Structure 1
Amino acid sequence: MSASDSSEFEENAPDWDKEEKGVIERKKECDHKLPLAFKLKRHPCHCVCLPTSPHVVVADHKGVISVLHYDSYVESSSKSQDPNKSQLPQVSLKCVEKAHNSFFYLDSNASSTQLVSGGDGRSIVLSDIETGLKPVVRISKAHGSSISAVCWYNDSCVVTGDTRGRIKAFDVRMGNSGKRRRVFKFYEHEGEMTDFSGDSARRLLFASSTDSTMSTIDFRRTQYKMQSQPSSNGEMRSVLVMGEQESKVVCGLSDGHVQIYQKGYYGVHTESLPIFDQMPNGRADLNLDKMRAIGDNVYAVSDDNGHIFAYSLFPNRRLTKVGCHRLATECFDLDYSGNVLISCGADKLLKFWDVSVLAASEILEQRSKQTTKQQILAIRKCFDPAAAFFADLHDSNGA
């Protein structure tokens, strides 16, 4: 276990609007000791945060699922804030492990401490963290091939996809028989299923696949609605529902592009954004394998080199570098508060990154370019003190 202290930020914020000053002040209110790093025993392959409690679950390549509970926090140094209010996690972690055979992919129930897992064993296991990951339900041979994606879609149903492109949904309230549990099955894809997402009303389910297409399923009617046109920008690796009133569906592609679908028009994408072209010395073939929404208009991605970046959807801008691993980033997720991003990498480290500034930011397409530029600069000053120094130096020279 190791911890590295982030540098203190400048005392004098630029004389901008109150909103830009607020971004700096929110960052200075906490006594930052991030990123925190926890050394894992084995190479991780997937992680998920519980949406109701400070737990992160990590699965490794040997099928061992570890539950880590971070129960200590950094208290705010600001006198105006409640000293008992939790801000950022410390390195005090308690680990509970449970060995399953080849369960690599995880997801959690939004309203309980239950976990669903699947992998090369072709079986689905529901376990409860409060009982030490004791299996509650096991659906044996749920798929004919290895499971490549899982999603706990609502309180009663889980959705899984396999390496042959098959999508299945199971009702966890039924008996142990997989056939009785199955809600629907669709065999529309020709490539491996990679990710699932859905709207907040849990009416529509979106699924991405390596055949460069996205499926839209009416979950309530158990009806397959449509499959998008194949993309020419690589395999679809992830899918998110974003935007105001969930008006956009965003897909990450293997060559570093982001494809955007408008609400109600999921057959053809409206925009394709090469986001990695905005990076210095960026390569067009960087794999956009992991994506997580931080807000309505902000999302985080990782590249093949272990770097984690934050982008705004509209306008398409790189906001800041959130953090990095020495080797590739295997997975990352937002914790239950929405203010801390937890990542695991091939360097066997679990890291915690403060993204509270990004979660509270309001970068909108309708604003002027100057206002948007000031907002982005304020965010970068919070994450990179060196950038703040050179930005102030540039402003003083320009004056």
Structure 2
Amino acid sequence: MTKQFRDFDKDSSDDSDSDDSMEEDVEQSESEDSSESDVDVDVGEEEAPNATGGDEANNDEEDDDVVKAIKAEKNKCRDHPPTIVSEDFIVDISFHPARNLIALANILGDVMLYEYGNEENKLVNTFELHLKPCRDVEFDTEGTTLYSTSKDKSIMASDVETGKLKRCFEDAHNEPVYCLKSLDNNKFVTGDDEGTVKLWDMRKPDPIFSLKIGEECISDMITNESQKYLVCAGGDGVLTSIDLKGSKIYTTSEDYDSELTCLGLFRSETKLLAGSSKGRLYLFNWKQFGLHSDEYVGQKHSISCMVPITENIVVTSGEDGLLRAAHMFPQRQLGVVGQHRLPVERLDISHDGQYIASCSHDNDVKFWNISYFEKIDTLVSEKQNKKRDMSNNLPSSNVRNASDFFSGLVE
């Protein structure tokens, strides 16, 4: 479950024990696999044709424009920033909304700010903010303020340019603050380990409102452009929406049999997608949060994070370390974008949509060039009557065998 990935230190007697455990996992993973993430590989292997229909199958493969697009992109030189390797466990990442900057929050309570580029990544600043592990890091909508939350129950607001602390909310919650979502230059919302959500204004010392919406952690929060409703995914398997204007609960969903871990918006913010700890994806119509309208099998393992790539395509990842791409309208698995040796904790997309970044339990942050998705999105939409799933790894992937992708799917 995502909760145990991101808060593995919660039940430990002290944070140092958690660090030692994580270092042992990393050392073990490095002994098992020493390959680099940037190794170029071939597109998925083709099966040998059978005696009766081999030629027909091959012709169909050659005629599939989507497969052609992927193969063409695969042959191009992929440009992306190098991997950022950290000495400490990276809890969360966040791209700047307008510049080539990415923030990394770690288990020591620090936030590192990097300027990324195709040739190199440069450490710009290190913010020593919290006494206990960070939980979340987010830029505000303009990119002038960097928010961070921690197990120490505090919320810090730092100036991106100067690195100076702009505001500190000590003991912001009674429980550790699990996630944060920026609404504008001054307002943001937070959710904690015990199901409490608070709305804050940087200009005021106390929250605008505080609502207890469940008993488990608030795994993720999302809103649309109008910001009338805030939707919260809960560790108790319930999707709760809050009327931000009325400062009250709008609706709660049925109880799902697993933790709801992550959220994403699609189709001009009319569709909401929720990932779960059992590898399933639930699709909701916006404002109809009581019951999902469709359900998809994502994978066998827990989905801990997702990032919308286009209006139709989502990339998800989690326990097995693979970044998988899927077209949702119509539903079709596209392939593997990339992979880590250990579980992936968080995903984010750059301001220009050219890269996604992922952080995992092996203490690294990898970048994946996903600019080719726009073309693939169009081609899939034009061929939505085709039922056959693709058996190709995407250009940014380092998975050597195409079957590795499908082995993680539920039959």
What range is the shorter-chain TM-score in?
Answer: 0.7 to 0.9
What whole-Å deviation, never above 9, does each CA across 1:303-334 have from its counterpart, x for those lacking one? 31211111121222221111111222122211
The Cα of 1:23 is off from its aligned counterpart by: 6.0
Q: 5 Å matches for 1:208-247?
A: 208-232=233-257, 234-242=258-266, 244-247=267-270
Shift of residue 91 of structure 1? 2.5
Which residue of structure 1 lines up, in the alignment, with residue 345 of structure 2?
330
User: Is 1:5–1:34's contact at 8 Å kept on the other side of the alignment?
Assistant: no
Aligned residues between the structures: 348
Which amino acid in structure 1 is aligned with residue 84 of structure 2? F
1:41 and 2:87 aligned = yes
What corresponds to 2:106 in structure 1?
60
Give the secondary structure class of the aligned counterpart of 1:291. Answer: strand
Change (3 A) 1:15 1:381: farther
Residue in 1 that maps onto 2:143:
112
Query: Higher relative contact order at CA 8 Å, sep ≥6: structure 1 or structure 2?
Result: 2
* Residue 4 (1) aligns with residue 38 (2): yes
Query: Which of residues 363, 375, 379 is equivalent to 1:348?
Result: 363
CA deviation vs aligned residue, 1:20-72 (integer Å, no higher than 9, x gap): 766665666x63255721211211111111111111111111101111111x4
Quick check: 1:298 aligned with 2:313? yes
Higher mean C-alpha deviation, range 101-110 or range 318-327: 101-110
Give CA-to-partner distance per residue, 1:200-252, whole Å, 9 cap, x none. 232221111101011112223434211111112x111111121x222211111
Match of 1:317 among 313, 332, 338: 332
Asked whether the equivalents of residues 252 and 258 of structure 1 are also in contact (C-alpha less than 8 Å), the reply is yes
Q: How does 1:249-328 map to 2 (within 5 A)?
A: 249-276=272-299, 284=300, 286-328=301-343
Kindly indicate whether residue 385 of structure 2 is the aligned counterpart of residue 369 of structure 1.
yes
Q: Deviations over 1:337-396 (max 9, x none)?
A: 1120111122122111111112443256674433x759x5787467579779xxxxxxxx
* Contact 2:193-2:218 at 8 Å conserved across structures: yes
> Relative to structure 1, is the Cα distance of residues 159 and 359 closer, same or farther in structure 2, using a 3 angstrom cutoff?
farther
Per the normalisation by structure 2, the TM-score is: 0.77
Is the 8 Å Cα contact of residues 237 and 260 (structure 2) preserved in structure 1?
yes
Counterpart secondary structure, 2:362: coil
Q: 5+ unaligned residues in a row in structure 2: which ranges?
A: 1-35, 44-60, 403-411
Question: Matches of 1:227 and 1:8 in 2, distance apart?
Answer: 46
More off after superposition, 200-209 vs 158-167: 200-209
Cα distance in 1, alignment partners of residues 375 and 39 from structure 2: 23
Unpaired segments ≥5 residues, structure 1: 73-88, 277-283, 389-399
Taking a change above 3 Å as real, the CA distance of residues 329 and 383 of structure 1, as seen in their structure-2 partners, is closer
Distance in 2 between residues matched to 1:50 and 1:378, nearest whole Å: 32
Q: Aligned to 1:126, which of 150, 157, 162?
A: 157
CA contact (8 A) 1:192 1:209 kept: yes
Aligned to 2:12: none
1:229 and 1:17, CA in 2 relative to 1: closer, same or farther beyond 3 A?
closer
Which residue of 2 is the match for residue 83 of structure 1? none
CA spacing shift, 1:22–1:309, aligned 2, 3 Å: closer
| Mapped contact 1:3–1:36 kept (Cα < 8 A) | no
Question: 2:392 and 2:336 mapped to 1: Cα distance?
Answer: 13
| Contact map agreement 2:220 2:263 (CA 8 A) in 1 | yes
> Structure 1 length normalisation: TM-score?
0.79
Match of 1:90 among 119, 128, 132: 119
Q: Does 1:170 align with 2:200?
A: yes
Pair 368,348 (structure 1): closer, same or farther in 2 beyond 3 Å: closer
Residues 211 and 199 of structure 1: is their aligned pair in 2 closer, same or farther, counting only changes over 3 Å? same
Among 167, 172, 183, the alignment partner of 1:153 is 183
In the alignment, structure 1 residue 196 sits paired with structure 2 residue 221: yes
SS in 2 for 1:362: helix
Q: One-letter code of the match for 2:250?
A: K
CA RMSD of aligned residues (A): 2.8
User: Counterpart amino acid of 1:312?
Assistant: H
